[in-house]
Structure 1
């Protein structure tokens, strides 16, 4: 007696694979956390013994991914986070500014296992940091410089059912902003360099 093994056709799967020409839209909760601890200097360059601290924030974001081929995709994220900036050192810990940040990141992604239910990817790209709706605090006046940075990315899509999947995503962004305090009386080159960590629910279109 001969036994035969027949592969389950893709149409019989309870989940769908994204292919060339498809879109994935992902609703995420995202934690943006900076490790900035740069020195605050006087206008003459003297060290004040104070350093910059930027608090993290968690906000909803959206990701839009388009598949150029089955294995190559491009993603753009949209969302804004709010961060308090503090001056710390010795017995000093004072809030100087609070700002919203719009950090759109665009990455080109490679997916080595596009047909798998658990499909990892890596990516690299650019971002633009835009600071808006800033509020000075405790008598300080703070100016932050917008600009471009770059990013690396790693993540995974886990197919659930039909066009739906769960997404885990990590981005490391490198960006430096020139900060001016009290019309330049104090200054700092702030390496924000945030981690952007997300979990979300995605749908293929």
Structure 2
């Protein structure tokens, strides 16, 4: 995680260096009514943990990297709504159970997240923000290389709360570099073998990303 934040900080420095010196006095800033579409590369990094009935152990989900699109609309100069859309694939297993490490196969996650963001410095080229919101994650296409005695896995869709922080860097009047971090409190239920084994997972993932946005 520390290495990842270091890479993001380095990317921010590169973006800053890319801003032409003569443009430093021509900041457009953020305004009510602005609408932005963004494209990013994100990492979804589950914390992993929870409780497994019957066989004990701890649920675990792998990290995943993917592309993301997002949409931002400014209600006020300092207040915006942001919606992200992406899908990721994760390998699931149970660590240190009574049966040893149990492979549950893979699952795809679709975690749209809507956040209300506050921008304290809307007129600055380097414009940080913080936010809070809600997430609803849809899990689908469970399958893959399950280990015996697992024959069926069902991960239930779940709501979660999101906290958010990020930085926008204006690189041209209509173009913005973006660096974003979200933390979700997400704890879906899992049913294995038609409910013979049930678990509550504590995924609580970090979602970290870097990308670019176009402002209309």
Q: Is the 8 A contact 2:27 2:123 kept in 1?
A: no
Q: TM-score, normalised by structure 1?
A: 0.87
Determine the C-alpha separation between the residues in 2 that align with 1:60 and 1:107: 19
Q: Which runs of 5+ in 2 are unaligned?
A: 1-22
Given the superposition, is the C-alpha separation of residues 12 and 150 from structure 1 closer, same or farther in structure 2, using an over 3 Å criterion?
closer
Q: Is the 8 A contact 2:27 2:124 kept in 1?
A: no
**What is the match of residue 45 of structure 1?**
none
Q: What do residues 80-137 of structure 1 show as CA deviations (whole Å, max 9, x unaligned)?
A: 0111101111793342121110000000011000000000000001010101111152
Name the one with the larger helix percent. 2
Q: What do residues 148-177 of structure 1 show as CA deviations (whole Å, max 9, x unaligned)?
A: 111010001011123112100000111111
* Structure 2 residue 93 is matched with structure 1 residue 76: no
* Structure 2 residue 129 is matched with structure 1 residue 121: yes
**What is the match of residue 148 of structure 1?**
159
* Structure 2 residue 34 is matched with structure 1 residue 22: yes
Q: CA RMSD in A?
A: 1.8
**What is the match of residue 36 of structure 1?**
48
Q: What do residues 15-42 of structure 1 show as CA deviations (whole Å, max 9, x unaligned)?
A: 5323111111110101001111223211
Determine the C-alpha separation between the residues in 1 that align with 2:35 and 2:28: 12
Q: What do residues 132-151 of structure 1 show as CA deviations (whole Å, max 9, x unaligned)?
A: 11115224211111121110
Q: How many residue pairs align between the two structures?
A: 190
Name the one with the larger strand percent. 1
Structure with higher Rg: it is 1
* Structure 2 residue 147 is matched with structure 1 residue 138: yes
Q: Which runs of 5+ in 1 are unaligned?
A: 1-10, 43-47
**What is the match of residue 67 of structure 1?**
74
Moved over 4 A (4+): 11-15
Determine the C-alpha separation between the residues in 2 that align with 1:31 and 1:93: 25
Q: TM-score, normalised by structure 2?
A: 0.83
Determine the C-alpha separation between the residues in 1 that align with 2:40 and 2:90: 19
Q: Is the 8 A contact 1:57 1:83 kept in 2?
A: yes
**What is the match of residue 177 of structure 2?**
166
